[in-house]
Amino acid sequence: MSLDHRLSPEHEELRRTVEAFAHDVVAPRIAEHYERHTFPYEIVREMGKMGLFGLPFPEEYGGMGGDYLALCLALEELARVDSSVAITLEAAVSLGAMPIHRFGTEEQKREWLPRLCAGEALGAFGLTEPGFGSDAGGTRTTAVREGDEWVINGTKAFITNSGTDLTGLITVTAVTGRRPDGRPEISSIIVPTPTPGLTVAPGYSKVGWNASDTHELSFADVRVPAANLLGVEGRGYAQFLRILDEGRIAISALATGLAQGCVDESLAYARTREAFGRPIGANQAIQFKLADMEARAHTARVAWRDAASRLLAGEPFKKQAAIAKLHSSDMAVVNAREATQIHGGYGFMNEYPVARMWRDAKILEIGEGTSEVQRMLIARELGLS
């Protein structure tokens, strides 16, 4: 495989386009949504018109015919300005639409992907449950086959994009049987929204990602057609392990964007903020902080692009994805802390983007696999039990 992580002209053009969109469209509007905890529908619709939700999908299903690298480039550029918008795109594509693309029947793809690719509908990923975060194999939600229907009962927690006016489907993992040794067989089932029996709880009061949509979901005798089974019955857990491996590259790109955004904001501030008669950027202490921050963002970018290049080449990438997710989320948290310190008292004020970045950074060490889970995966790939 090539070790050249420089972008092709097409990928670089996409990156620049999303960079301009983030600065010209997202940046002027997102602070108000963040403070009010409202979903930025107008921004999301514009992202749909740009084709961002269809980036990695084939044109025959309404996609842009791009690849996973294209998606990750868009996520990094959006997160340089705001993570709520970036996670909305990430969850809708890598968790919402990608399972249908990877495992769906031709009928399911043609039914769902065109709307998902256009951003006219958002998909959600119903995996996590109260009390079973990292232990997804402990799923308690059940789906029982009754004739030509599945009857679903259970609860899901922390589900992104699950309660918007654009939400079109939630792919739910549920226990559909038992193996001979007593372990659960977990399957994936598409639940359109709204569906009778599906209750969307009020949005969470979150520390960060305040302009993204996150809810708890309850399923009380929710009935969907048997044809809504996604992939092979009993293979839902294995399917979503694959989806999460890919998603970790996307989250790593998002974390890299946040880390780079901290550099951008701090560099601009250091050049204009004066103390003791000169810009604070003239002080070596600030220069060294910024140099370290830039180095962190750079190494995080190299890590996710390496994992993405292996994915695109059809090579094993599980370890590299875990490394990228672990490293980039750590770098994002450290850079957010340092950016807040460089801004001093203003860094504690919500009117400055670094305050938003500081609040948004921590979840990156938790969502889509905690840092501890990433270390477990890396150790396992090294051959350790």
Active site residues: 368
What angle (nearest 5°) sits at the alpha carbon of residue 120, between those of residues 116 and 126? 50
Closest among 349, 330, 331 to 340, alpha carbons compared: 349
Q: Rounded CA gap, 103 and 97, in Å?
A: 10
21-25 contacts at long range (C-beta below 8 A, 24 or more positions apart) = 21/46, 21/47, 21/50, 21/77, 22/77, 22/78, 22/80, 22/81, 22/82, 22/85, 23/81
Query: If we measure between CA atoms, which residue out of 158, 258, 255, 256 comes closest to residue 206?
Result: 158
Sequence-distant (≥ 6) Cβ neighbours of residue 282 within 8 angstroms: none
Are the CB atoms for 122 and 96 separated by under 8 Å? yes
How far from each other are the two terminal CA atoms of the chain, in whole angstroms?
A: 29
CB-CB contact of 228 with 315 (8 Å): no
Euclidean distance between CA atoms 286 and 249, whole angstroms? 31
**Token code pair at residue 372:** 């501890």
- Specify the 3-state DSSP secondary structure of 230: strand
Coil, strand, or helix at residue 283? coil
Rounded-to-integer distance, Cα 123 and Cα 57, Å: 14
